[in-house]
Each structure stands twice: as structure tokens, then as C-alpha cells.
Structure 1
């Protein structure tokens, strides 16, 4: 795949000097790297590249190694800190960072007693208009200033951060910028000081962007403007167009229109003529054939095809016919539009027939969920995604740029310079406007916008990101197989993993990676994807593998923050189950309100439309040793440790707000999750557990505290005396019981008083779940007084109610078991979720994993995939059978 020499230079020094206008781009300052002295940075780079070449045979054995030739991987790398493959210098760099910690400790900038007792609970309000954030587009990003707030809270100067789904490296930027602070983090700083980061991503283009945003390549980046100007001087006339006075203006963009064929008469018309109303700002869904008057539907209209000879492939191909339709151009500082004239068409033909010896990627698009649309237009190879003019000029720029200059090109190379670029009619823009590609797709529109490459790149180039010199580890690596990183070497993890089937990263990145000559290895890409035969269960398996490795490298007692967004409850439950199965304990789930800039406590899957922040921790050494030695754990040791990882008091305005995770049901769920994930027998049922809570801890406002925490809570509550109870949406029976407890805790009510509020609270029941009648739920879980009012049962009575309820639930579960064991068993369309939960739990205690699997396969898939408890038991059962 390579077309570069072994040193990584893309052209001769004489050519470089010409392009740079005589600028000497080499820095001859001596440098020290990993304890070695080098004459200059270029000498350092050459030495480590040769060392990387020697290490590649062994590195290629690591799962997830990218697809590419040795030369391309080496030329894309700037070792030892950045490698376009797993980074073999990681242990050595970490050792150097640990030595720095000792220095910081002596200087009083670190403390051995540093401890973070509970999760971050303040508002996170950070905009996305920072120049570093906007310097390069990518599918998903978290602003580095938002991450800085978390780093200041969870870490201290010198700490080592890890992000295994690093994308464009915002976690690394945040780690380095902690040395300086920002307006967005004012007041958050525990202490200013640089943190170190390991940024790993499966995608070569993501890691390439991360490297450039995390390092100071200012000299090379500044010279991109010189290269751009040089190429413009040579080829700028390819964008000229004649004005009405016979003089020439400069094309801003050209719109190409598909040709539509009428099904009724076979007549041809331009798509834009039929459906677009530029001056009126609309596109019609239907049009009338100008030849026969038949109605043509925009979404299903037939497009004209043509055969052509593809010079790059050396063979004939078929494609959709697209013709020049509209030119928007500048003349004398003003914008005009015109229909392409004969001279414009002739120029396009001249460009098509002009030999171009510069290299362009001819990689096939390959197979994928997003690949069918471009193929429908005859686009099967990367180079076919560009017009002839764009491809010609882009190839000239690419061959003159150093690998660092190419960073400026990659921002547009997969988007606004391709045939994915859309035109939109707009009543506020009489010339129409550029709408860019449709996000998350490879959709080729019927009205393609060909932009002026020089105009676009002059705007896109952002010199404001040139001051970074962070020396973070940047690598292309699989989050499931980061064996190079030593055990328990990381102080904090911030990660923004793939969100199920939301984004097909490897498919969308293929365009830019084709130019880099290094492609994502998608075998273990943690997504749900039909082409890769990966469903929600596969996604959970892969994402769990990443969290298992996260657990291995994180130090005991330290924290992990997972930023997550997905509209599917099944994916939300998959990631939450994966986190807990890996050994982490979830301490809080908060929703990040991007509109109002706040976070609020969350628990239930009806809210997955919002971005979520999942905060969890790795249990401390004593807990882990107890499990390793006896494959058991004292339940109250676990609860002690967990309560000490939860906030004591949260204030909103003048009110104390409920802490969801201190609710007895949630405490039981967290304990249950941890025990099941570690294959430990659960010693108590929910009733006995709650009795034990009341015997050992202090209950206030429906929450449980240790004695010191209770005193702190009461003291702080005096400053915000009003209490805001936990908001619960009744999406299943268990939530309904908690909702009723909140309603009746201080104010018993009659059935007639409860029923209207209950009906309003019910929302979003899972498909297939049977919710019992309100009266049945009351009778099983509450006490009715002589005056007809229902109240919460006393602890002693509650134990009896719980036993009776469990007996009833098991009766129903046994009916399901009997049904699935019949010779011709049919799927169970509707089932009582709480009965299935109780049954799965009892089967787990008896190690009856076959029954869990049988029932799990016969109930509604939605019920299984969208419920955390069922999914957890089912996953454990499948691993034991």
C-alpha cells in the first residue's frame, strides 16, 4: 500500500524547500527522549522508527493490529509516543511517568493520602466552540474542558489517565491542559498540574488526529498555508468561470444534478429542474414529467446510468449520470450564480482528460451496513467518491504535504470534498447553500456540491491548535487486547465507547484511512453491525472485553467515568451489564443535560435519550483479596465499602435531593450485580438484606448511611432543609413499588386517592411485560389500615409480605417453566417481569442455568435485552453451559 520511502519523507528536501518558499522546517535543537540524547527531533524520529520496524513482527500478533504495510505504519508513526499500531514503548513511558510522580511528591504537588471518596456531582456546562474542539471534526467527541473538570476531581498532578476509545484524543488534551486550567474549570482545580494520558483507538485516522491535537507541530502546520498557496498558484485557474462582462470570477461551489428517467415515457430531465425550488426554499416530493405529464415521485424516481472508462482501475464501470447544473461564484467581492456555460463544460472535460500521475487511493469501499447507498450510484472505490477536479487537486496537495501537514487535509477529505456533500435550497439563501454530508452515513445525494478546495481548506485550517506539546501515548490499539499496558498502572479512566449501532466507525473512517494507507481492523470493533454479524449480544461481549481490560489496568480503589448515549434500552442495559460483569461497581448514573448544562441523578432506562455519565469504581484491595483467597466476600464489607463511595449530600437550590444509589433497592441491586458477576453465591434475599441494612446503618429520608455519614448528612441538611424525593417513572412493577413507597412514606392514602396518580405515573412499559393491577401490588407489598388507607409495612411485617410475594412470583415463574419444557413450546408473548426476575434469581442460587436459558429464549427479546437483572443472569448462565 505504500508509495513513500523508508525514511518517511514524502518528497525530496529540495522539493520541500521549494514548497515552503525556502523555509528551513528542520529544528536542530538537541532533544532527550526516554533517557537518550539526540542531535535533533528528526534524528530522534528516525531512530525510533527503525526500532519500531524491528518490533512490528511481534506487534502484528496482537489482536486488532491495523491493516497496512510496514512502511505505511512506520511513516504514519512518530515514536516513541505515537505509533499507528500498539505502542511497544508504553511500559517504559509509564515507568518514566511514575518517576516523575516521586519528584512531584517531593515538591509538594502530590500527596500519598490523596483519596476520592464519592463521585463528581456538580454541573458540567461546557460549550463546543473551543478552537481545539472544532479544529477537526469526528463522529463523536466530548469537549476537553468538560473532561478537565473530572480530571481535577478524580486525579492529582502526575496521575496516569487511560481512554481506550480515545477518538480524536480529547482526554489527552484535557490531561495536558490541567497544567493551565481554563474559564470552564475555574474553581474545580484541586491543584493545577499536568496529568499524563494513554489514548488508544482502533481507528488509524482517529489516532492520527489525536496525535496532531496532542503535540506541537506548529512549524509544519504553519507551512500548510504555503503549500496550499503554492498549489493554488499552479492550479487555481481550474476554478475560474466567466462573469457576465466576459471577465473571470472564482467558483465557490458547483452543484451537480442527477438525470431522472420517466417511467411512463422514458423522457429525461434534471433532478434539480424537477424537484428543487431554489428561490422558494423547498424541494418537492412529487413532480410532473415535462414530456408526458406523468407524476414522478422523488424518493423512487429512476436515475440514468452510463458506462465509462475508469483510468485508475483500467476498466469500464457503470455509474449514475450527474451533470453540472449550477455555479455559485465570486466576482469583485460579490457572490453570483449562473448556469454552467460551454466554457465551464469544456474545462470539466479538459480536467477529465488531463493525465494525472499523482497517487490517489483506489481501495474498494468493501462491505458494510452503510456501503450500499454509494454502490447504488456506481461508487465502489474510494477515488470514485470525488469529482475529477477535486481528485486532481487533492492528489497534488497530498503528495506535497508532510505527514503533519496532511492533518489539515484530513478534516475535509472524507466529507466536504466528496460526492457526499449536499446542496440545500433555503429561502434565506437565494443561491442555496452547502449542507455538508448527511451525518453518520455514506449517502450520495442527487444534488452533489463540488466545493472549491482552496476556499474550503483556507477556512478549515485552524492554527490555534499549534501550541500543544503533551507527550501523551497515542496508539492504534484494540481496547480488548491492550496487553502492553501493565496491570494496575492507571490512576483514572475516562472513556466514551461506541454506542451499539449508532455509528459505524470503521465504515465511515474508511475514506480517510484509504489516503493514510492504514485501515481499521474491524474484527473486534465494539458495535452492533449486520454486515459484521454483530448483534446486541455481540456488542455486549465485545464491550465487556474492553471493560475487563480496563479493570485489569486500573488501580484498586480508583474510578472510571463512562460517557454514554444511545436511544435503545437494550444497548444501555448491555453496557451497564458489561461494566458490572467486568468487576466494577456502579456508584452513580447521571444524565448530562447539554441544553441546560446540568447533571441529574438517573436510574431507569426510560431516560436513555439523554447523554449519560456512568461513574464506577474498582473495589479496594481488601475486597479483591477476600474474593481471590476464598471466592467469597462478606456482604456487609461490600456495603460498607460501597456506601463510602456514594455522595453524602447533594444540594439543588435550597433543597436536599435524594441520592438514588442510597435507596435500599438500588443497594441490593448493586450487591447482587457484584456477587453474580464474580460467581459468588448471594447469601440474602431482598427482605433479609433490607432487615440487615436497618440493623447496621441509619435510615434517613429513605436512604441509608453509616453513622458518620448520617451525622454529616443531618448537619448539611440544615443549610437546605427542603427535601426533593427521588423521581421515579413507573416503567415496570419494581419501579411501581418504589413509586408507591415514596408516595405513602409520610402520608398514607386510600386506593381511590392513589389510583389517579398511579395512572399518570405509568409510562413506557416494556413490550411483553404484564403489570399487575394496582390493588394486587398494594396487597402484596403494603398494609391496609382499618380506615382503608394504605401505608408502608413495618420491618417485621415487611419480611412476611416479601415471603408471600416471593411465593406468588415463583408460582407464576413455574408456569413459564412448564410452558417452555413442552414438546412443541411456543414463545411466551406476555410475562410478569418480576416473576421472571425472581425465577432467574432462584435458578441461579440452585445453579439451574439450563432453565434460565430456556425461559430467556422464549420470553420477549425486548424484556430480556432491556432488563438489567434478566440480562445479567442470562449472560452468566450462557457462560456456565
Structure 2
């Protein structure tokens, strides 16, 4: 029985016409978009029913009565990927739902609405509804209740969005319950019907260990093929002899693949890269023309007889079967789309694999087309989901490896030893995986939208309670290209004009990527309720991309409160307190400030009160105590330098004059807030911290820092000198931690100490009393500005310089509103340095926008 939300909601061409102006509207015929959709919970286009969903299940925001408060989630999170839910359908990237559950349980209440604008397979939706079904995994339930004693079980509602129709199709099916018994029965009926017609394609003669045909009472024994290993054919550059790659490199006795081999004709030693691939001309019935493709031969067959596995070399009868299949017309529809523009999608053009149908053997294509035809007759997108789950391993991208049935590279690369899988077995195995997953999915708690995150204008303002998102990062993956083969079958394709990636083929560099991500985060900011949180999972090894993301977040209005890095060796998250250090996966916690704060900030723009309003707002959101077993972890965001950096960034991106310099800020910070262990607290927070210190009996406050330039070196010294130390005590520790960038003109340790710290009678260096050290700060700034002046008077690109001097110089030019000179100097800094320094990039980008 339909609930109130479902009543009367249909998707038709009239509704589609009203949605076409939303960015990311997919490419496809209206009837295919409508046919793929399952309104109101899923549409393969912008979903016109989302606000109805919010009205039905959400809670309007009212700042006067809102009492929501959460600190950023700072616990360790580590979850494996071996779970029936995770394994049901592959995708290019995926965050385990159990990891996301922790964040949802921390930031939300039962019934709240969570949002993921880059949803991929919809794991955020799965996590949201699994919060209401903890009994499905009792061991995990007990584990979470131990980790999070104040947990509130209960399903949360989810809004899922992605630019890719393949992603939203997968996400919807991940989050939709089915009648498991009926579903399995219908899938097996389709499989049986298909096997009756085309099962002969996977038959092979059973041979004994001597290669002789095995017979029983009924005649020759036939086996069922599970997979066929194919091989490239190479051309010797010396004698033009054709070399079968398998025969040349595969050592079956020692189970290894050699990198070097000998031409069996001229006996020259070769590597694969020395040779070209042999070509052959074939008639492709799908494209109805002759094409030239790289030649591949079937080599080995793995098969079974009475569930016992065997292997054999492809024999003459097998070759005749393949020839028969190649002459056999595919009698059902299959996609013949030209691969889309892009270095990934068209990487195989030189091998002749220019269209989607050419990524399959003729045998695989015949059977896939038959299965698709039977599913399409039933108009059952749940069964189509099982079909798409088989696609990735049905293509020629599946590679041979010893000890397994094949592996995937996560790209569209065609290996030299591809493995052709038995489609019937693949479908059956994926059906089993999907059924296992469906046993966990008990209700429809999510609604799915297909559009660009740059404009989700069909979602109303301030309506979302929490955001978890794993957006595309830089040039890691070109999702639209990797999803194209899926989407060719779905007949609805990604409109990648606003896809947020770095992709030269699409004309998108880091600048375009940052611009698109800024638009995405502005939309996230718009739909999120004030005082609420967004968690951003970040997977990238390039500092430049991290800085682009960080600036995009700040430009959108978010304030970053915590950044944690996944320690892959330890399987836990550790705090990152130096923003340019990005070597592993990050989890970023950012919040949308209260409306009253934003309004007052604008009213008080440029006054000292705007500074302290910001600091109070920020301190209120930061974690007070982070316990790590036997010690307390230092909250890096609470130190003076971090607070100053956040304050500066918020003023700059909002175009507001900065009324205090660093020495004035430090002085007043001590007067206005309570200090503990070089961290600052509000008066109603400090008792909690003091009690924690008593509980831990003055524990060690752990702190780690990447020392890559002068700024990070100073932060390191401020932490170290919380207890006065001599130069000889500091120097070996400093040498161990200091790893300056190539361009960085790092001052000597003694210079850093003399410019910023004082010595006592025992020659121990200590932190000056900020209330009395204004002159030290001014002297330091004067020296840095003098050095910056030398850079201004020089010519050409800066090769070796003090980044801190440029930062101080940019801050002074900003105060003077000399945006042209900031841009001029920025153009002289190596582009990679500029892109990898968040402070310089912020001044440069915003100054550029003011002189355009």
C-alpha cells in the first residue's frame, strides 16, 4: 500500500521539460529516462519530488528554538570492505557503510535527513537506514554501543544525488527492499531460459590428463566452461614473426609471468614494450562494417565436470565453437555507442576498441543481450541491477592472474591476457550477492536525484540535517568515462559538462576543478541547516588539490573545524594540524555557522568585534576533549596560530578588512579566553578539559606536525617550548622532523629561535609572554617584509624563497588593497608552490577576482 508521500507521483514528459534547465540533466531519450526511473524515490534525472520528501519527513529550521550542538566527530574509524552490502555491486570508489554509520549516529537524531551529493553507490543511504536496523549485525551493534555510549538507534532519511545515471541507478537499488523469494525466482527463470537457448556456447569436450577425449555411457563427456584466457599476439620488431604472448611469458610450472622473452624465430631477447601488437580485420555485425582490431587468441579453458574443476589448452573443437559463435547473429538489442571523448574512454582506440560493444567477446555479447532482453520485457530495474553488477567482469578488462579467476585494474585498460568469464555463472554469483545484501534492506528510507551538485535547486534552503560526502578529487578518476559502458546499457548517459574533475581531455585543469567544487560546496552550504556539520572524505596525494578543496570549502562559507588523516598502517585516523600535508586519506569536518553570527559578522565587518565573534563561534564548535586510550590528544585547531589562520581566511573570503595584526590578536586572545596547554577554551568548556586532565593524571598531550616550511617549524617550536629547552636539546629533534620543500628557503633553527623566542639564565629557550612580546613580533614581521621587498625588486620567477615572507607580504598588500601587486607576485611564484599553499592561494585567487 502506497504511503502519503508516494500518492499520485509519476514522472512524465511534461515534468521532464520543467527539469531540463537543471545542471547535469542526463543525456538520453525521454522514454529511456522515464523507463529507468522508479518515482517518487528515484528518477534518472533531477527528482521533482525531493521537496515533498523533505516536507513529509523533515523538520523546518528555526534558529530561535534550535538547540542542536555537536563537536566534530574525532574518534578512530576503520572498516573493512568484506561485507555482503559492500560486495553486492562494484563501483569506482566506495566508502563502507559501517564507517559512515558512525558519523550519522554522532551528528544526527533518528528521523533526521542526511544528504550526499556525490553518492556513488548510495552507501550514505544504506548507512542511514541501517541505523534503524542494528539487529541485522549484532556484533557491530555491540561494538558501536561500546564506542559511542550515547548512541540513538533509529533510521535516518537520506537524499542521494550523483551526476552519473549509473551511480544513482546503483544507489537506488542498493537502498530499495524487495521480496527476496519472488526476486530470486524471477531471476532464475530468466537465467534458465537464457541457458536453454545459448548454453551450448559454454560447452567443451572433457579431456583426460593425456589430452584424450573422455567418454561415458551417453558418449563424449562435455564440461561447462567457467572462463577462457585469451592472449595478445605481438610482432617481433626484428623479424616480424608473430609471437603469442602467453606462450612467450607465462611460466605455468613456477606460476609467474616473465617480463622478458625470446622470439622463437630470430631468438632476440625482447620485452612487451619492444613489440607492436598484431592486427586483424573482422566484420562487426553490430556496427555493420569491417574494423581493424588488435589480434587476440583463445589459449586456455577452465571448466568443470560434476563440480570438479579442470584446465586444458583450447583445442580444434573449441576453436570451431568460437568460429560458430562469431558467425552467429546477436538476435537482441545491445549498445553500439562510440566511446565518449576522454583519455580513459578512448585509451583503446589504437586497438580498434572504439565502441562499447567491442569491449566484449562475441560469446559474452550474445548472452548479455539475451539476458537484457528478458529483463527488459519484465520492466524490472531490480533485475537490471543484477545485470549491471555483472558488466564490469564481463568485459575484456578482466585480466589473468595466477590463483584467481581474474582481476580488474579499475580502468578501461585491456590487458595482454584478458579472461572471458562465463556470464551465466557471473549472473548467478552476483544474484547471490545481491540477495545477501537485500536481506539487510528492510524499508525505503531514501530518495535519489540525478543531477550536478553544482545546482541542486530542486532541494530547498536549510533543509538538511547532516552531509556526508566523498567527492571526486582532482584527476584521480574520470567517473563519466569509467561509467560509460554501464550507461550504454542503461541508455542514459552522464552529462559531464559540470563534472568536477581535472581532465585535460575535457578541458578542465585545477582552476576549473576548484571553480566547480566551489559551486558544489556553495550548494551544500545552501541546503544545510545552520550549526550543522558536513563530513568530507578526501582521497588524494596532491597538496594542490587539497588546497583547492580547502579554499572551495571556505569560499562557500564553511568553517573547517577538524581534519583527520587515515593511518593505513594502523587503520585509524590521526589529526592533521598542518593543512599542506596530504599523503593519505583525509576526513574533513566543517560546519555552517549560525545565521545570527553571519548577520552580525557582516554588520560588524572590519571591527575587532567581528574577530572575536568568529573566535567564539569557532571555539564553540571545536572538540574540548579527545581521549585516545591512555592519553589526551591535543586539539590543533585550538592553538593561537590555527585560530589566527581561520580568522584571517574567513575575513578574506568575505571581503572584510582584517582589523588586527598577529601580535594584537595573540595579546587579546590571552585576555579574552582561557588557556590550557597552549590551547584556548571558552569559560564553559575549560572545566571539562580540566577534569579530563585530572582523570588522566596529567597525561601526555600527543601532538604531531609536518615540518615543511617556516610556518610549520614555528608551530612545532611553540609546541616543543611549552617546556623550556636548550638549543642542543631541540636541534636533533628539529633535524629529524624538518623536511622542507625544494623551493623553501628554510631559516636555520638558531635564527628561528632568536627571532621568535627568549632565553633564560640556563640558556633554555622559552615562549615569550605574548602580552610583552609585541616588539618581538613586530621585529620579526619587519625582517620578513624587508625580505619580501627584495623579492618585489627582483625580476623573473622566484626559485628559492621564504614562503613565510611571501605570506606576510601578501597580508600587507591585502590590507593596502593592492590586489594587482599580489597577482603580479603570485605569477612569479612557481605554480605548483602557489597551488600547494592554501594561504598564498587564497590571497592570489581572491585578488585575481577583484582586478578582472
Q: What TM-score results when the alignment is normalised by the length of structure 2?
A: 0.93
After superposition, the Cα gap between the structure-2 partners of 1:190 and 1:787, relative to the gap in structure 1 and judged at 3 Å, is: closer
Given that 1:497 and 1:562 are in contact with CA atoms closer than 8 Å, whether structure 2 keeps it comes out as: yes
In the TM superposition, what whole-angstrom CA distance separates every residue of 1:683-742 from its partner, at most 9, and x where no partner exists? Answer: 111111111110011111111112221222111211112122421221111111121222
- Give the secondary structure class of the aligned counterpart of 1:81: coil
- Asked if the contact 2:156/2:445 (under 8 Å) is kept, the reply is no
The SS at the match of 2:518 is helix
Secondary structure at the counterpart of residue 394 of structure 2 = coil
**Structure 2 partner of 1:448:** 418
Residue 845 of structure 1 corresponds to which residue in structure 2? 815
Q: Measure the CA separation in 2 of the matches of 1:827 and 1:468.
A: 62
Q: 1:141 aligns with which of 94, 108, 121?
A: 94
CA distance in 1, matches of 2:675, 2:605: 31
Which shifted more, 704-713 or 592-601? Answer: 592-601
Higher alpha-carbon deviation: 464-473 or 565-574: 464-473
TM-aligned CA deviation for residue 605 of structure 1: 4.7
In the alignment, which residue of structure 2 is the partner of 1:370? Answer: 344
1:830 equivalent in alignment to 2:800: yes
Partner of 1:754: 730
Q: Which 5+ residue runs of structure 2 have no aligned equivalent? A: 208-213, 215-219
Matched position secondary structure for 2:695 = coil
- The equivalences for 1:804-819 within 5 A come to 804-819=779-794
How far is the alpha carbon of 1:600 from its aligned partner? Answer: 2.1
Distance 1:270 1:35, change over 3 A: closer
TM superposition shift of 1:112: 6.4
Q: Which residue of 2 aligns with 1:176?
A: 129
Matched residues in 2 for 1:262 and 1:474: separation? Answer: 53
Offset at residue 521 of structure 1 (A): 0.8
Q: Deviations over 1:312-344 (max 9, x none)?
A: 112221100111111111123222111111111
Q: Aligned pair in 2 of structure 1 residues 35, 416: CA closer, same or farther (>3 Å)?
A: closer
Once residues 788 and 128 of structure 2 are traced to their aligned partners in structure 1, the CA distance between those partners, rounded to angstroms, is 51
1: CA distance between counterparts of 2:762 and 2:598?
52
Question: Aligned equivalents of 1:436 and 1:552: distance in 2?
Answer: 42
Say yes or no: does 1:421 pair with 2:398: yes
Contact 1:285 1:297 in 2 (8 A): yes
- Aligned 8 A contact 1:126 1:184 in 2: no
The aligned counterpart of 1:192 is 153
> Which residue is equivalent to 1:23?
none
- How many Å separate the matches in 2 of 1:359 and 1:813? 68
- What do residues 438-492 of structure 1 show as CA deviations (whole Å, max 9, x unaligned)? 12x2111111111111112211222022234224110111001001111111111
Conservation of the 8 A alpha-carbon contact between 1:377 and 1:444: no
* CA distance in 1 between partners of 2:604 and 2:752 (Å): 40
1:595 Cα offset (Å): 5.0
Q: Which residue of 1 aligns with 2:651?
A: 675
Deviation at 1:416, TM superposition (A): 1.1
Deviation at 1:156, TM superposition (A): 0.8
Tell whether the 8 Å contact from 1:200 to 1:477 is kept in structure 2 after alignment: yes
Q: Which moved further from structure 2: 344-353 or 779-788?
A: 779-788
More displaced stretch, 675-684 vs 118-127: 118-127
Distance 2:666 2:26 in 1: 51
Q: Is the 8 A contact 1:658 1:723 kept in 2?
A: no
Q: What's the CA shift for 1:437?
A: 2.1
How far residue 607 of structure 1 moved from its aligned partner, in angstroms, is 4.7
Question: 1:540, CA displacement in angstroms?
Answer: 1.2
- Counterpart position of 1:868: 838
Q: Which has the higher contact order (CA 8 A, sep 6+)?
A: 2
Cα drift, residue 376 of structure 1: 2.2
* Whole-angstrom CA distance in 1 between matches of 2:346 and 2:174: 33
Distance 1:673 1:605 in 2: 13
Shift of residue 35, structure 1, vs aligned partner:
6.8
Measured on the aligned residues, the alpha-carbon RMSD in Å equals 2.0
Helix, strand or coil at the partner of 1:32: coil
Q: CA deviation at 1:594?
A: 4.9
Q: Secondary structure at the match of 1:156?
A: coil
What displacement does 1:786 show?
A: 4.8
Residue 117 of structure 2 aligns with which residue?
164
User: Where do residues 612-623 of structure 1 align in structure 2 (5 Å cutoff)?
Assistant: 612-623=586-597
1:776 corresponds to 2:751: yes
Q: Distance in 2 between matches of 1:412 and 1:769?
A: 51
- Once the two structures are TM-superposed, the CA of residue 538 in structure 1 deviates from its matched residue by 1.6
For residue 636 of structure 1, what is the aligned residue in structure 2?
A: 612
Residue 119 of structure 2 contacts residue 160 of structure 2 at CA under 8 Å; is this kept in 1? yes
Q: 1:69 to 1:622 in 2, by over 3 A?
A: same
- In the alignment, which of 81, 84, 87 is matched to residue 128 of structure 1? 81
Q: Which is worse superposed, 193-202 or 598-607? A: 598-607
User: How much has 1:212 moved relative to structure 2?
Assistant: 0.4
Does the 8 Å CA contact 1:284/1:298 hold for their aligned counterparts?
Answer: no
2:269 is the counterpart of 1:295: yes
SS of equivalent residue, structure 1 residue 91: helix
Q: Paired residue for 2:778, among 770, 780, 803? A: 803
Looking at structure 2, the residues matched to 209 and 468 of structure 1 have their Cα atoms a distance apart, in angstroms, of 17
Q: What displacement does 1:872 show? A: 1.1
Deviation by residue 1:585-623 (Cα, 9 ceiling, x = unmatched): 111111233554432211225652322111011111211
Q: CA deviation at 1:201?
A: 0.2
Secondary structure (helix, strand or coil) at the match of 1:619 reads coil
1:628-661 Cα distance to aligned partner (Å, 9 max, x none): 5465562111111111111111222232221111
Q: Distance in 1 between matches of 2:641 and 2:345?
A: 46
Give deviations 1:501-531, integer Å, cap 9, x for gaps. 1111111000100100111111111111111
SS class of match (2:498): coil
Q: 1:320 aligns with which of 294, 297, 305?
A: 294
The separation in 2 between residues aligned to 1:835 and 1:367, in whole angstroms, is 44
C-alpha distance in structure 1 between counterparts of 2:202 and 2:651, whole Å: 67
Correspondence 1:241 to 2:216: no
Q: Is the 8 A contact 1:260 1:268 kept in 2?
A: yes
Distance in 2 of aligned mates of 1:363 and 1:510: 9
Aligned to 2:210: none
